[in-house]
Amino acid sequence: MSEVCVIGGTRFFGKLLVRRLLAEGHRVTVVNRGRTPDPFGAAVRRLRADVDLPGELAAAVAGERFDAVVHQMCYTPRAALEACEAFGERAGKLILTSSMEVYNADTFRWRIPAPPMSPFAREEELDAAEYAYDTELPWDDRAWLGANYGEGKRQAEAALTRHARVPVVLARVAHVLAAEDDFTGRLAFHVDRVRAGRPVIAHAAPGRTSLVLADDVAGFLAGAAVSEVTGTVNVASPDSVDVYDVCTAVQHATGRPATVIEKTDPSGHPDLSPFSCPSDFGLTTDRATSLGHRFTPAARWLPELAGKVAAGEGRG
């Protein structure tokens, strides 16, 4: 039995992570602001902190020791440094839930040109230990942070890697889809348009990208928390998809024809698919496979998930 701290854990795959850890018999402490109810009752301990406010996390976890900390709410280098200071050496490892967006060459702002990346990126193509971070950037500006999400995650990785006093796991996660509590609405976007008889807009000759099932993300994070895994790991289904694959799944789920219209410059179009890429952009999963983590192919789960969303199960 391990003592695991989950920062966040009240929505989307964070809830699935907590459920997985509890089901496996681990003791779980959840740290968040306490503003969102959770379904765990007395099964978890709760500590209150806003990880974006200096000193709050350190005060909340003072004197606590954990076998692992899974940080679901780390979007900036400031938050990463707060975690390093708060836990010090009182955690077996720190796990950062990061994003495939760290590989997106279009989102680099402070290192131009971006380092070369493969269309389906490998972990070693972006070394967090060699990437610069800047705590003086306007990270407190929510609009600015939202527009620089990929950069925030890159710099959070860099700060954590440099300053953590315990081993680190950087989980670079693909586009996550779920049948429960999927606040992103990305699959519902397609269901709504197909049902309404509206076309889905895509880039000309759209590229392929990586998806992952929320249950698989939770499974990886839970496994990383209680195993010897360290370092950077891409978390994604092993097969890629494009907007046509998504629309085909939705078409079968709804029984309505799906129309995709390609545009040379679809920027800003309200019907532009969130899974349309101007070129291939995704993840390789060779390292995860070598560590024994096998993610479910999207071809296996996407049609079933589209059916659940079409039936209204994914609107949480």
Within 10 angstroms of residue 219's Cβ, the number of other Cβ atoms is 20
Taking 90 as the threshold, does the pLDDT of residue 66 lie above it? yes
What is the Cα–Cα distance from 220 to 50, expressed in whole angstroms? 25
pLDDT level of residue 38 (50, 70, 90 thresholds): confident
| 3-class DSSP state of 225 | helix
Q: Give the pLDDT band of residue 314 (cuts 50, 70, 90).
A: very low
Q: What mean pLDDT do residues 44-55 have?
A: 92
Banded pLDDT at 151 (limits 50, 70, 90): very high
Where are any strands of DSSP class E within 81-239? 94-99, 120-121, 168-173, 175-177, 200-203, 211-213, 231-235
Higher pLDDT, residue 114 or 248: 248
Supply the pLDDT for residue 313. 57
Q: Which CATH architecture has domain 3-175+213-235?
A: 3-Layer(aba) Sandwich (3.40)
Boundaries of every domain in the chain: 3-175+213-235, 182-210+239-280+297-310
Q: Which conformational region is residue 257 in: left (phi greater than 0), alpha (psi within -120 to 50 degrees), or beta?
A: beta
pLDDT digits (tens, 9 = 90+) for 261-294: 999 999 999 999 999 999 999 999 999 999 999 9
Architecture (CATH level 2) of domain 182-210+239-280+297-310:
Alpha-Beta Complex (3.90)
- What is the band of 9 on the pLDDT scale with cuts at 50, 70, 90? confident
Cβ contact 27:2 at 8 Å: yes
Spell out the residues 6+ positions from residue 192 whose beta carbon is closer than 8 angstroms to its own. Answer: none
What six digits make up the tokens of 69? 């900390």
